[in-house]
Copies of this chain bind each other. A is one copy, B any other.
Amino acid sequence: MSVKVLSKGEATRERLLDLAEKAVLQKGFGATTIEELIAAAGLTKSGFFYHFRDKNDLAQALLRRYIDRHNDIIDDMFVRSSELTDDPLHGFLIGLKFFADLLADLPNTHPGCIVASFCYQDQQFSRDIRDLNAEGVRAWRARIQVRLQEIAKRYPPRPGVDIEALADMCTAIVEGGIILSRTLDEKEMLARQVMAYRNYVRLAFETREA
């Protein structure tokens, strides 16, 4: 997580993306106007179109940045947790605990997921963006599936446990948890859901000797 030195242009672009991300998560992409973004960024319309070809180009940049950042966060978490133990199950559970703590430490309710937001507005976007969205989800899935398969090698899963579904369930819980925490305005909801998922993983691979 190094702090890059940005040129003036890159800094403006990042500022626009920050403002756009916030607005899109609160109002949706269609209701986010270029006018409001440039007003907040202190820029003219021409300035905006210097950085982005059109609104669709903004969407693509937004999504790409979001996916890249979150892949880094996930990787970082699993690297840190696997340094603490050699046991894949133990390491995964520690990683999930890190993740839950991270979410619990957010000052407000989770701001929302760009992938989920775009999923519910996908007909506004070009094919590239929908593909990019799917690629993002597949990247998360792959990271989790690898770990669960490592675990399953050492610990036979309890009957009825579907490893692939269990991997996707992690993403589903996070996406669903974000929706619940936002809708109900319950800040603790998301971390609690991650911990509930963690408990399922624990039960799913629990050795049976009492």
Q: Residues of A at under 8 Å CB distance from B?
A: 25-32, 112, 115-117, 119-124, 133-134, 137-138, 158, 160-162, 165-166, 168-169, 171-177, 179-180, 182-185, 189, 192-193, 195-197, 199-200, 202-204, 208, 210
How many Å from the CB of A139 to the closest CB on chain B?
Answer: 12
- A31 and B55 CA atoms in complex are apart in Å by 13
* B residues less than 8 Å from A173 (CB atoms): 169, 172-173, 176
- Tell me if B31 and A160 are in contact (CB < 8 A): no
> How many subunits of this chain does the assembly comprise?
2
* B residues less than 8 Å from A169 (CB atoms): 173, 176, 193, 196-197
With A179-B175, A203-B158 known as contacts, the answer to whether A138 contacts B28 (CB < 8 A) is no
- Residue in contact with A200 in the complex, picked from B112, B168, B175, B203, CB distance below 8 Å: B203
* B residues less than 8 Å from A195 (CB atoms): 162, 165
* B residues less than 8 Å from A210 (CB atoms): 208, 210
* B residues less than 8 Å from A115 (CB atoms): 179, 183
- Residue in contact with A189 in the complex, picked from B117, B168, B196, CB distance below 8 Å: B168
- Residue in contact with A199 in the complex, picked from B29, B161, B182, B189, CB distance below 8 Å: B161
Best-buried of A134, A160, A172, A196 by chain B (most CB within 10 Å): A172
- A153 and B48 CA atoms in complex are apart in Å by 61
- A34 and B121 CA atoms in complex are apart in Å by 17
